């Protein structure tokens, strides 16, 4: 992953695209883009980890297009269903905490 000072350099360079590699570590080990920001897919199911990852992009917000690198459409569908299930569980837990 890029350090905060590296993200700032991206902003200063006034580039148009920012690559985010959303593949698991094992897939990145087989070949990776050296300048891409690595976002572990597990972070999508963990609200705290996802919040930290999204905060990383604040420095480039409105200045670049994000390019998401993944494993393909089938995998995205799996991640979508996994994320919806995790969100449902989180909502149920929050409702239980309120009662």
Domain assignment of residue 84, yes or no: no
pLDDT in tens, 25-70: 888 899 888 889 888 887 777 888 888 888 888 888 888 888 888 8
Whether 50 is in a domain gets the answer yes
Please state the rounded mean pLDDT for residues 10-19.
69
- Per-residue model confidence (pLDDT) at position 75: 64
Look at the chain and report how many structural domains it folds into: 1
Q: Is residue 78 part of a domain?
A: no
Residue 96 included in any domain:
no
Question: What end-to-end distance do the CA atoms of the chain give, in Å?
Answer: 40
Domain assignment present for 12 = yes
Mean pLDDT in residue range 69-83 = 72
Which structural domain range is residue 57 located in? 4-71
Q: What is the pTM of this model?
A: 0.54
Sheet holding 37-38, edge to edge: 37-38, 17-21, 65-69
For residue 29, being part of any structural domain is answered with yes
């Amino acid at each position: 992953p890029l350090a905060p000072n590296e993200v700032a350099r991206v902003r200063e360079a006034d580039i148009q695209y920012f690559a985010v590699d959303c593949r698991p570590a094992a897939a990145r080990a087989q070949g990776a883009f050296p300048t891409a920001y690595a976002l572990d897919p597990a972070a999508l199911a963990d609200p705290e980890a996802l919040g930290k990852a999204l905060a990383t992009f604040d420095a480039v917000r409105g200045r670049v297009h994000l390019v998401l690198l993944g494993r393909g459409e089938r995998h995205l569908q799996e991640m979508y269903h996994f994320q919806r299930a995790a969100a449902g569980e989180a909502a149920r837990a929050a409702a239980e905490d309120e009662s």
